[in-house]
Amino acid sequence: MRINAFSDVCLRLLMLLASRPDTLLKTRDIAEAIDIPYNQVSKAVHRLGQLGHLDVKRGRTGGVQINPSGLSLGAGTLLRSLEGQGDLAECTTADGADACPLIAGCRLRTALGRAQEAFYQELDRWPIRDLATSPALRTLPFPTFP
């Protein structure tokens, strides 16, 4: 399995914020620190704010801060909400019609579904706060690092 690029941006953002949970950070500074274009980080901030994992304060003195929900969030739960639980293979079309002639009673589809569930369950053993202990996060050249 592979996570998509947007999920990776969201995870990097959450890990960075979780390494400085008491600090309000600017989206532009975050983008520079994790070397991701500003518009992508901005989209991730918006989505994670909608999901209730970040507190976003608008205005010149505003910024972004992870909240208790974000700190305790399991990585698997996050990926479920960002990527959904669709089939790993192209079993159906976007509108739900059968896309494969083998779909009736396909055991491979069942096996892939169970493997996907196991993937998410394993990742749920890792709350964001535990993913944020990497030394690399502490040494990022971050302008507002305390």
Residue ranges in contact with ligand SF4 by CB under 6 A: 87, 89-91, 100, 102-103, 106, 108-109, 112
Q: How far is the CB of 72 from ligand SF4 (least distance, A)?
A: 34
- Closer residue to ligand SF4 (CB): 5 or 111: 111
- Closer residue to ligand SF4 (CB): 47 or 109: 109
User: Per the structure block, which two tokens stand in for 29?
Assistant: 């500074």
Q: How far is the CB of 123 from ligand SF4 (least distance, A)?
A: 22
Nearest to 83 by CA among 56, 47, 112, 108: 47
- Closer residue to ligand SF4 (CB): 65 or 92: 92
- Closer residue to ligand SF4 (CB): 27 or 116: 116
Q: How far apart are CA 128 and CA 140, in angstroms?
A: 18
Q: How far is the CB of 104 from ligand SF4 (least distance, A)?
A: 8
Residue found under tokens 């929900």: 69
Q: How many residues make up the chain in this entry?
A: 146
Nearest to 88 by CA among 74, 105, 69, 108: 108
Query: Strands, E, within the chain: which ranges?
Result: 54-57, 63-66
Q: How far apart are CA 116 and CA 124, in angstroms?
A: 13
Q: How far is the CB of 3 from ligand SF4 (least distance, A)?
A: 20
Residue found under tokens 């169970």: 114
Q: How far is the CB of 122 from ligand SF4 (least distance, A)?
A: 21
